[in-house]
Homo-oligomer: A and B are copies of this chain.
Amino acid sequence: MAHEDDQHGQCLFEAPPMAEQERMIEAVLFASAEPVSLRELEARMPHGCDAGEAMVYLRKRYDGRGVQVVKVGDAYAMRTAADLGFLMQKETVEVRKLSRAAIETLAIIAYHQPVTRAEIEEIRGVSVSRGTVDQLLELEWIRFGRRKMTPGRPVTFVVTESFLDHFGLENARDLPGLKELRAAGLLENRPPPGSVPLLGDGDVDEETTEGQSELFED
């Protein structure tokens, strides 16, 4: 590596100590999305730094660790050690946004549980596809609840512990009601063009809340 120690002394500003330079390149490599070349590193570091020398120390420091400093072409990057790849499975899964239909179905189950499929369809105004329910069951966000004591004894759906876990809820009862959603700005109060807004929308919410707490009582 290029040794320019003799020049350091002639510098107007003294370069930071090598340990500090090592910290600097460590932080930059960590935070960069792309591999970084020595030239780029030096361009970012205070005047008189020697990224090459600091890199030697840094690479030695990470030798045998769970994270490695690897050379990629002319540049350097930090990577997890190849033998630990099996731990990274969670990073490799492709995370997709839940479809709108699934979110709405899930929301209805959370707010109205225990709820039957027919009730979900009534609230959504469209039929619920099998795939949607299957997906939510597979994610373990919903499960089958008790059968309803109505003709046909339909099964109901309820949300699971892992649902609460995922959404950071202690309790499905803590879900905000319509009025609260509106107050938080999550509910656009704009009626669709041409339709007449119904008055006294407050009652709707109260009913929901009451219904909810009633449903959740054990």
Secondary structure at the A interface, as helix, strand, loop or mixed, is helix
Task: Using known A-B contacts A31-B91, A146-B174, determine if residue A26 contacts B66 with beta carbons closer than 8 Å.
Answer: yes
Tell me whether B146 and A170 are in contact (CB under 8 A).
Answer: yes
Query: Shortest distance in angstroms between A117's beta carbon and chain B's nearest beta carbon?
Result: 6
Report the interface size for chain A: residues with CB under 8 A from the other chain: 65
Task: Using known A-B contacts A22-B66, A66-B22, A145-B174, determine if residue A31 contacts B88 with beta carbons closer than 8 Å.
Answer: yes
CB-CB contacts below 8 Å: A38-94 with B: 40, 44-45, 64-67, 78, 80-81, 84, 87-91
Tell me whether A32 and B91 are in contact (CB under 8 A).
Answer: yes
Q: Which residues of B contact A31 (CB under 8 A)?
A: 80, 88, 91
Mask: chain A, 169-212; 1 = CB below 8 Å from B; 0 = not: 01101111101101111100000000000000010011111000
Closest Cβ neighbor of A30 among chain B residues: B67
Tell me whether A80 and B30 are in contact (CB under 8 A).
Answer: yes
Q: Does A124 contact B (CB under 8 A)?
A: no
Q: Does A106 contact B (CB under 8 A)?
A: no
Closest Cβ neighbor of A185 among chain B residues: B130
Q: Does A8 contact B (CB under 8 A)?
A: no
Q: Does A27 contact B (CB under 8 A)?
A: yes
Complex CA distance for A36 and B199, rounded to whole angstroms: 47
Tell me whether A174 and B155 are in contact (CB under 8 A).
Answer: yes
Task: Using known A-B contacts A91-B32, A144-B174, determine if residue A183 contacts B207 with beta carbons closer than 8 Å.
Answer: yes
Q: Which residues of B contact A160 (CB under 8 A)?
A: 168
Add 6 more A-B contacts to A30-B67, A153-B209, A180-B207 (CB < 8 A): A23-B66, A24-B84, A27-B67, A31-B88, A117-B180, A132-B185
